[in-house]
């Protein structure tokens, strides 16, 4: 082979990916415009009260933010690998690393996802008067969701044979997340969704494979933790936790696992949930890359 180190390859792959994005100016503008626009729309709808403390719709705003994040991540990534397949196939003959390509795709999409996250939360901060500490935390969770969606998107892109199949798969990935993400109480749903489980006091198995469930749990519990110094805000958000607990939303596994070690349930739940999302990211990255690698060499 050409003995070109993988680090150098990643360097040039990143440069190339950024250059490609910079050529797609209109796309870029639209994607950066969409984030604050959706944020503005959600703040308009979910601003039940100008004072965040009194705003009972705040959890809905957070949920909508996570759903938007899934959209951003999936839409930006689901067509990426398909369109480059022939090119990667050709370059791989000359020893260009497929891993380098896949990783650089990940990096670049995540970078643009980060910008969208910041724009989204900036608008939220302005219109809902969210304290900066919460904005930072909300941005972190939203970014995690965007990355996990990119991961899913690239996986689908590696899996689908053409763009049409990939675009048809987008609703399949999004709608269940909306339904089972936790905003709609599980007890309002048919008990058959619990499948083999007979304990209806926790999230059904199918919901436990939805990254957004963990993200929503993380963002809600995190909002409580990061406002402990502000009693008024904290009380308001604590009500959300009660609401969620009433709806058997919290991860029973997390609760049980932590209670063994005498750890307060709430204080670490956000972190545990983010780690679970990180697990999703790693897992889908490995699966997506493996699938893509096989597609390149067994096409």
Partner 1 sequence: MNNLAYIYKLWIEIAQESGTLTTSDVLLAAKRLVEGHSDADISLSIDEFDEFAKNISLEELIAYLNKLTTSKKYIILINLFMVIMLKNIHNEKVSKKQITALKEIYIKLNLPYLYDILSLLMQKKYEKAHTVIAKNVPNIDFICFDQHAKSELNQSFEHYQVSFIILHIDDFFLLLNHKSQALHIYSYKNEKNLSLYEKCQEFKEESFAFVNHKVRDHSIYYLNEESFLRITNDKEVIYLDTDVLRKLFSQETQTQFLVSEIIHQDKNIFNCSIVKDHIYKIEANDLYAGYSKRNTIIKNVNFKIHEGELVAIMGPSGSGKTTLLRTFVKQAKKLQGELLINDEQVSQKYFHRMGYVPQDDVLIKDLNVYDNMYYYYRLHFGKKESDANVDKLISKQLRNLGIIDIKYSPIFAQGKYTISGGQRKRLNIALELLKDVDLILMDEPTSGLSSLDSENIISELKQITHMNKIIIINIHQPSASMYKEFDKVIVFNEDGNNIYTNTAKEVLNIFKLVKTEDTYMFNDRRADLEGGDPELLLEIQAEEKSTFWNLFSYLNNFTEK
Judged by the rule CB under 8 A, the positions of this chain that interact with partner 1 are 1-2, 4-5, 8-9, 12-13, 15-16, 19-20, 23-24, 84, 86-87, 89-91, 93-96, 297-299
H-run or E-run covering 227: none
* Residue with Cβ nearer partner 1 (91 or 217): 91
Q: Provide the minimum distance between the beta carbon of 88 and partner 1 in the complex, in angstroms, as a whole number.
A: 9
3 contact partners, CB below 8 Å, separation of at least 6: 95
Q: Provide the minimum distance between the beta carbon of 21 and partner 1 in the complex, in angstroms, as a whole number.
A: 8
> CB–CB of 202/248 below 8 Å?
yes
CA distances from 119 to 60, 69, 139, 249, 268 (A): 19, 12, 10, 29, 28
H-run or E-run covering 202: none
* Residue with Cβ nearer partner 1 (96 or 103): 96
Q: Provide the minimum distance between the beta carbon of 163 and partner 1 in the complex, in angstroms, as a whole number.
A: 14
> CB–CB of 17/105 below 8 Å?
yes
Question: What is d(CA 218, CA 250) in angstroms, rounded to the nearest whole number?
Answer: 10
* Residue with Cβ nearer partner 1 (14 or 193): 14
Q: Provide the minimum distance between the beta carbon of 95 and partner 1 in the complex, in angstroms, as a whole number.
A: 5
Q: Provide the minimum distance between the beta carbon of 6 and partner 1 in the complex, in angstroms, as a whole number.
A: 10
* Residue with Cβ nearer partner 1 (12 or 200): 12
* Residue with Cβ nearer partner 1 (109 or 180): 109
Question: What is d(CA 148, CA 128) in angstroms, rounded to the nearest whole number?
Answer: 26
């Amino acid at each position: 082979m050409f003995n070109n180190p993988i680090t150098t390859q990643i360097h040039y792959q990143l440069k190339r990916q950024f250059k490609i994005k910079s050529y797609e100016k209109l796309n870029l503008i639209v994607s950066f415009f969409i984030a604050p626009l959706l944020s503005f729309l959600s703040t308009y709808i979910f601003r039940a009260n100008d004072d965040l403390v009194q705003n009972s719709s705040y959890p809905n705003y957070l949920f909508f933010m996570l759903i938007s994040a899934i959209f951003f991540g999936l839409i930006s990534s689901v067509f990426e690998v398909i369109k480059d397949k022939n090119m990667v196939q050709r370059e791989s003959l000359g020893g260009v690393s497929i891993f380098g390509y896949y990783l650089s795709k990940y990096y670049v999409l995540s970078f643009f996802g980060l910008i969208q996250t910041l724009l989204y939360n900036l608008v939220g901060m302005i219109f809902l008067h969210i304290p900066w500490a919460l904005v930072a935390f909300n941005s972190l969770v939203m970014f995690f969701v965007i990355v996990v969606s990119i991961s899913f998107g690239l996986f689908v892109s590696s899996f689908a044979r053409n763009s049409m199949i990939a675009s048809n798969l987008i609703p399949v990935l999004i709608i269940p997340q909306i339904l089972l993400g936790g905003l709609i109480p599980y007890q309002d749903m048919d008990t058959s969704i619990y499948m083999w489980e007979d304990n209806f006091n926790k999230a059904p198995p199918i919901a436990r494979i939805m990254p957004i469930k963990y993200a929503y749990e993380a963002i809600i519990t995190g909002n409580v933790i990061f406002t402990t110094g502000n009693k008024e805000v904290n009380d308001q958000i604590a009500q959300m936790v009660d609401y969620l607990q009433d709806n058997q939303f919290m991860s029973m596994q997390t609760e049980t696992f932590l209670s063994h070690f005498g750890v307060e349930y709430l204080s670490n739940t956000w972190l545990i949930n983010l780690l679970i999302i990180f697990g999703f990211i790693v897992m889908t990255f490995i699966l997506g890359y493996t699938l893509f690698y096989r597609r390149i060499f067994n096409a």
